[in-house]
Amino acid sequence: MSRRNFILLIIVLIITIIVVFSFFYFRQTPSPSGEDGTGFPSNLNPFGGIKTVPPKTTPPSTDNGNGLPAGEVEKMQLIKVSTMPIAGYTPFQKEKTDKEFVLALRYVARATGQIYQTFTDEIKERRFSSTVIPTIYEASFGNNGEMVVMRYLKDDDQTIQSFVGTLPKEILGEDSINEKEIRGFLLPDDIVDLSLSPDTTKIFYLLNTNDKATGIVLNLKDNKKTQIFDSPFTEWLSFWPNSKIITLNTKPSGITGGYMYAIDPSKKNLNRVLDNINGLTTLTSPNGNLILYGDNNLILNIYNINTRESTPVGVNTLPEKCVWSSGNDALYCAVPKIIDGGLYPDSWYRGEVSFLDEIWKINLNDGNTTKIINPSITSGEEIDGTKLKMDNGENYLFFVNKKDSYLWELRLK
């Protein structure tokens, strides 16, 4: 063999070895970056670049505790309720047969303002009202589903209107459901935020006039109005968890320190609870003693008003993707599987980021976190859960998919 041919053979062998080695090396499947099933986000820098830091915490338990294959259990639990996008909903007790009341749902169609309802144990959607109010952006129910507040824009597409309506009583066994009209009255124009009291007999709303915010309580029984709050700052979000406290949260941004205050509506006193937390969003417990709050990293903590101590929750999401149990000892949350880089909560509010959620339960007595269900596996649909609610017996968890505004029901027991 000539020297030239020998050199060519060596070169061919070297190339062959490199190709074979590369093939076996790159066919190994790498772990998806940041996806460990715990819902912990990347470490976000709101002023520029995004640095991804692996979570250091132990992943929460994923045991569903029922001893059955998760997929089979999930198929029986999760149901899409509405056939259209909705603006708001409520669970309520409805008479099914003589003297038999069962859990039902009422919800407002976003496009038409018409109200629909169904039983929770037998999804059969029926239209309840014929009153048409186009393009409802927000709806809240009260008085066991017999009162509704609908918020929408007037024809000028600028003025916010808030309509308070009383729903007509149902007659047991009646079939004619399409002729019911909702009668009510309008609140002042351009209410920027609104909350119902837990007993739904009062409404707290915020008006911005003369470069200041004014907070007013309206008693629906006698239409008496009482001003309980004013501030030169006009960007507020309210929440009314019980009769003795209304919370006010500055509208959040990941690059701005947020503040939370509490007002006793009977005493009109304003107390600062949390301050200077970037991206601050909150959700107060029913008893008013515990504040679930998140920051611009979507790290959840619970602040105890009595002890003034904060405790980490163990999952990462936004407080508005959670709901408190009535006993103040548990949380149910829609937790993102992966949290991509972005400015939070701004990116989520603006729709620039959408999450793929799982439903988790956090037991505050022992600190255990348990994954209840993965909706994408069960339903085949991607869920970005918000507006979570539970029935009084805590047998069901309800939520709205932010991706399309459809209502879902999850049976817990």
Edge-to-edge order in the sheet of strand 202-209: 191-196, 202-209, 212-219, 225-231
Edge-to-edge order in the sheet of strand 299-304: 281-284, 290-294, 299-304, 309-316
Query: Diameter of the chain by CA atoms?
Result: 109
Residues sharing a CB contact under 8 Å with residue 389, sequence separation 6 or more, in sequence order = 89, 90, 91, 323, 397, 398, 399
Domains (range + CATH), the chain: 34-63+209-373 (2.130.10.10), 71-189+388-413 (no CATH)
**pLDDT (0 to 100) of residue 47:** 24
Comparison of pLDDT for 396 and 22, the residue scoring more: 396
Residues sharing a CB contact under 8 Å with residue 344, sequence separation 6 or more, in sequence order = 41, 44, 254, 279, 296, 297, 298, 318, 353
Tokens matching residue 257: 């320190």
- Point out which residues pair with 361 in neighbouring strands: 332, 370
Question: What is the C-alpha R_g of the chain?
Answer: 26
**pLDDT (0 to 100) of residue 17:** 55
- Taking the model in full, what pTM does it have? 0.81
pLDDT > 90 fraction of the chain, expressed in percent and rounded: 72
**Mean pLDDT throughout 11-21?**
55
Q: pLDDT for 50-99, tens place per residue?
A: 232 333 333 344 444 333 344 444 444 899 999 999 999 999 998 877 77
Residue 396 has pLDDT above 90, yes or no: yes
Cα–Cα distance between 173 and 170 in angstroms, integer? 9
Nearest in space to 305 (alpha carbons), one of 345, 271, 265: 271
**pLDDT (0 to 100) of residue 1:** 53
Are 102 and 92 within 8 A, CB to CB?
A: no
